[in-house]
Amino acid sequence: KIELAHNVITTTKIDESMDFYTQHFGFELVADVGFYKHLRAGEGVEIALMEPNHPSQPPLYQPEWKGQGLILTFQVADVASAYADMKEKGVPIAFDLKREEWGQVHFGIKDPNGIPVDVVQYI
């Protein structure tokens, strides 16, 4: 049985990424060992940031994230408010609020590493 799942982003932009997730999504730093920072935004909502090629890590975990194929999705209670807040803070919007036929409203942004972040409200 899985008790918790979280993503670890290997990046040279740890501080910039931490600022992005704490300022725009309410994450808090809960562990900092220098090369690795663990963030939490409520029960079961966690993300970690890790320097690439750190000698303490097995080779499997060392490469820096370089590309495509990952989307982080954050479900919020009021997507219109989250959208307005991001625009007010000057966060570049990748796509504006969009209502989908399957029952969600969402918009997209990118984190400092270029990772797409889908901000969603189910209706």
37 shares a domain with 10: yes
Q: Which domain CATH number covers 105?
A: 3.30.720.110
Co-location of 24 and 61 in the same domain? yes
Q: Show the domain range for 80.
A: 70-123
Residues 7 and 58 in one domain: yes
Which of 66, 90, 112 finishes a domain?
66
pTM over 0.85: yes
pLDDT confidence of residue 53: 94
**pLDDT at site 8:** 93
Q: What is the pLDDT of residue 6?
A: 87
Last residue of a domain, one of 29, 46, 66: 66
Q: Tell me, what's the pLDDT at 66?
A: 84
Q: What is the pLDDT of residue 100?
A: 96
HEC-encoded secondary structure of the chain: CCCCCCEEEECCCHHHHHHHHHHHHCCEEEEECCCEEEEECCCCCEEEEECCCCCCCCHHHCCCCCCCCCCEEEECCCHHHHHHHHHHCCCCEEEEEEEECCCEEEEEEECCCCCEEEEEEEC
Residues of the chain with pLDDT under 50: none
- The structural domain count of the chain equals 2
The pLDDT, as a whole number, for residue 97 is: 98
